Structure 1
Amino acid sequence: MEDKFIYTDKERKLSYQILDELKDTLDKSFLENDLPMLQVQLKDSVAKNTIHRNVFGLNPILCSLQTAAIAVKDIGLKRDSVIAILLHQSVQDGYITLEDIDNRFGKSVAKIIHGLIRIQTLYQKNPIIESENFRNLLLSFAEDMRVILIMIADRVNLMRQIRDAEDKEAQHKVAEEASYLYAPLAHKLGLYQLKRELEDLSLKYLEHDAYYLIKDKLNATKASRDAYINQFIAPVRERLTAGGLRFHIKGRTKSIHSIWQKMKKQKCGFEGIYDLFAIRIILDAPLEKEKIQCWQAYSIVTDMYQPNPKRLRDWLSVPKSNGYECLHITVLGPEKKWVEVQIRTERMDEIAEHGLAAHWRYKGIKEEGGLDDWLASIRAALEAGDNLEVMDQFKSDLYEKEIYVFTPKGDLLKFPKGATILDFAYHIHSKVGNQCVGGKINAKNVSLRTELHSGDTVEILTSATQKPKAEWLKIVKSSRAKAKIRLALKETQIKDGLYAKELLERRFKNKKIEIEESTMGHLLRKLGFKEVSEFYKQVADEKLDPNYIIEEYQKVYNHDHNLNQPKETESAENFEFENPTNEFLKKNDDVLVIDKNLKGLDFSLAKCCHPIYGDPVFGFVTVNGGIKIHRTDCPNAPEMRKRFGYRIVKARWSGKGSSQYAITLRVIGNDDIGIVSNITNVISKDEKIVMRSINIDSHDGLFSGNLVVLLDDNSKLNMLIKKLRTVKGVKQVTRI
């Protein structure tokens, strides 16, 4: 039979004392029936034996009251949070429902309790608590910021109560969580006093000898330290008073935890730590004169003692992201000892000591980036209502942008909001992602498209026959998964391409047909393929029949090699006589027909317009009887026609057009990195165009230059000009 819960007299007395203190502090905050209903609820839970002592033998009701006291005094929480702290265990144990809480105490209290219970479910997954991901998951999972603040208060109280715990393993676990999780959370929220206490108590339980070594040393040197502080402060106080400042000065010894961290970092003993204490000057200054008076105090101190400029920290001009404002300087005091001096106002000191709570009465600081931005929004919400009840409507930006999910082993992974099972699979390993067929979320089977949510435990199901698909790119959200899918698809495409190529080569060989690259290229264009890889993919997927490809290949081959049906016989009258003795025609088969019937005349190409095969041209009879061939759009053509019309004769090209002509192109554009390379790449890709020279000048971000290329007709020239105009950065291409 289970032992009956006994409330000791000492615990009862302490509980009523704390309850009275809460009444006095929150008298206006509580509603008329709150306290009577709370007392009835707690008394019933004791009478019906529904509550039990924890692993350390602590009374849960007393612990809740102690936590509530910390939450109110050190953080500034109010009515809703206190009620949630006192009743959340009863809800978790099933003694009262969230619906009952909603009806009796309001939606806000029910929401906080719901958040506290959700957090407890996370611990049941045995997460790795020291990870940054778990801290962020807590912040996003709680939804209401008061849940996190209550958890910090609860852990501070627990750390205070387990000093004499017999279960050292449980004590060790609680201390580790305080060090890795709750102290960093308190720091993020600016709760520096609670952060220091958590760190010192953690060190006490985790590294007992180090803690007491430093504590004993501090106690042993306290008298001399106090004497030195007084020696340092006395002249400073005198000068500050003479300067007309209102202030008070405090001497503060570094926390045991921070001294231990410094000893480890500097690899020295206690005696090697010189800045064991700091002097804090706290000014009573009006808001509009805060900065002026802080810098005035700074000037007075640095006039008296030599400052170390490398140790100046100005969080006055630009406050820390959590709202901390202060001037930190390190000066060389009496006996050549370095002393840290902190200068701030009463308002700044309250913010530094009480963090977020102090911001409820003061203007917050605008911040940027991630979690800091989120905390700034919290402060803005608090300022709007002057209390924490505004948090009911608050949702964190972090919760909207990121999610955190567990592996079956308790590892915590971060994903963008909207991530799916497939994202998770590719995060584990590329092979797992490639073979993913679905998964399990919280032990329930789901498809690979299923969206993940914070706190889910995810398991992946795979199959050896599964292959990545192009549509998967639309399913995943993370860039990591998309990159891995693209890589897998590319590898699959290469494998399919090799298989299809080998298949076609075998089929062609069986038919005793040689594959010509040029003919195959014409076939691909005829079939409508822009990429060879897509052609091979369709062959591999059996969408294209190899026999059909062979038939079409033969048609293209016959056409390219004039092996089709023979042409009808033509009369000799239709053929033009070509004089093989003409020197020009010996070197090429471009033929000019001058003035209808005249052929074999002495002619040359004009250098003013550089005509090439295919250009519309005309002949101009020179004074020595030879003929110059000009383009019809030659810049000199209008003048020649006007003054010497009688010397112009008709001309046209005949033959195949295989001569090489030197053409100069003028190119103008933006002077970008790689522009010359891009231009030359376009030319080099065409086998029938040869680049003779390139000359480019750059000025004021623009380039201009001339290209000289060899080609055989104007159709290729026009095509080249079009291609060059598409090069990024090229603005103008003209023929000279």
Structure 2
Amino acid sequence: SNPTADALARIDGKLAGSSDARARWLAGEAVRQAILAELDKLATGSNAQCALLLYEAMQAGCEFAPAELQVFGEEVVDLIEGQRAAGKVWSLYSVRSGAGAAEGLRRMLLAIIRDLRVVFILLARQLVMMRNAGELDENDRRALAQLTADIHAPLANRLGIWQLKWELEDLAFRYLQPETYRQIAELLDERRNDREAWIAGAAATLRKALGEAGIEADIAGRPKHISSIWRKMQKKGLDFSELYDIRALRVLVRDVPACYAALGVVHSLWPFIAGEFDDYIASPKGNNYQSLHTAVVGPEGRTLEVQIRSHDMHAYAELGFAAHWRYKEGSGADASFERKIAWMRQLLEGRDEQEDDSALLAAFRTDVIEDRVYLLTPKGQVIDLPKGATVLDFAYVIHTDVGHRCRGAKVNGRIVPLTHQPASGDRIEILTGKIAEPRRDWLSTHHGFLHTGRARNKVRNWFKHADRELNIAAGRSVLDREFKRLALHNVELESLPARFHLRSVDDLYEALALGDVTPTQIARALHEGGRDPEPASARVSPPPKPAAPGKDALVIEGVGNLLSVLARCCQPVPGDAVAGFITRGRGVSVHRADCRQLQRLRTLDPDRIIEVSWGGAHQRAYEVNVLVRGYDRKGLHKDVSNVIAAANVHIFAVDARVNPARNEVTMNYALRVADFGQLSSLLAQLHAVPNVIEAERKL
């Protein structure tokens, strides 16, 4: 039987009983036929088309009992469930609702893992919807475009379906940044005739040279995609006129040897531009894309990009798996597909069903949307990771146990810290111990050990299986170390658990041990008073210029609107327990409550001691002294200063002393920070610098 015909017959029977459903069904006919046409190009088979029709009928208002759907087989039921899950992901972007979006993403990924045709249906539908997005109102159009940019285009890219990926990206860009899209489109159109004539001439020259070399090749101008033009302009800081690949040729040859032979001909014809050659045949991209890319100075001194690949590589580049894997009804996925979607399983593995699925959304965006780096194992296997991933992330990709036992790493034969972020092409060797001993500070975002949610989740699961009392003790130790670094004493913690939706201080300690709450969040909570703590991933804004002391800096209790200054002897920072001393002619001098100078003043003249509390302190910057001690090496001072600068912290004085006998260097920095949160994050980053022994606030 024909599943598509059977589905249409069953749908027709359902529509006969509902005029409203029939009207909605007929109204969607043009869109439905367009989606079916895209599925036909992808050769997904009749079961996929059947599942599309049944799902569209449900959306129109037809109701099907589970038994009625089972008639079409488990494959069709799974394909329908995948479409339902994707509908929930849409709610994340819809202005009407956001309920169930993260769970929808989980189910959608699971459905794709079970059957690749789910993603073909989703991409085909999204492409047709984007082609018709101009008919929607502004809010729905932007929401649809954002969903496409965040979910569908990255999925098409990771699965290698570039034919759909490029059009999805361009359509999303058109509606998300309409003015920029229009400007680039006009620039392309203005010079179209001249450019096409120039490209035709360059193609003829290359075709003749390849023929003389005995290389059979198909040569054509390569269409430019507006979204990719914009990304390149942003990434490289170039003007439109400076782009190398506005003028581009695609050369298709018989096999891999012919690719390199053609490259030699191109470089013999025109001088190549250094730094613009990429060999994706020897080192394919993570989505299996293969091609040679080069840029040359072509005729008339104009730049020209040339892409060279075999016909098979080109077919794959256009349709990904659909190019060579025509799905047979009732058969499973092949080994290459299993490798392709392994990242989806990795994304979902070990994830607690009860945890907040917003973490899954964040992990999806990190692992799918971000730029990738392509790294090599010692045996030459290519591993791709999100840009910003560390060597410790790499260890966890190799195997969970390798990550847990990781003690160090070598990049291109050189030992590097676990926070090192490798670049594409680096060869990485993981150094392991015999015992699995992940460290708790690996969970902290500001320590910089892990970038991917997947690796962090593996570490978190390791510690979740530890005894609660051990976690409480570990969390207490983490917080004690943080308070010591910040030079805080006698901190009142009883009010803090409620700020993080926890019941007790012990729960807070356990959350610290598991990485669910970070020391920086607690430091920021102490500083902010009644405001909710920011999530651990929140960026720290650069500190504003120091404000003049006065009523905006402190709330002075019981003495009216007096001038106030921060005491230089102890340099209090928001969050410190403080007290005031009424000076003669300089207003109120504010000291840390444990300041020795304040204790002396309290003994000499107790009547001039007053209570003060922090008010709008977050609006100004504060001076603190930070001590950094480490084993001396070349470049240590530069590395420490770079970390401080990267944290947007201002250095206004520094003093460094070397102890040759102990081979140690002590650096005292006078800094301006915005608050405890920024100081806490900075101290953690400084402690991670190679050779640094300690980094703490100095009183």
TM-score, length basis structure 2: 0.48
Between the two structures, name the one with larger relative contact order (CA 8 Å, sep ≥ 6). Answer: 2
TM-score, length basis structure 1: 0.46
- If you compute each CA radius of gyration, which structure gives the higher value, 1 or 2? 1
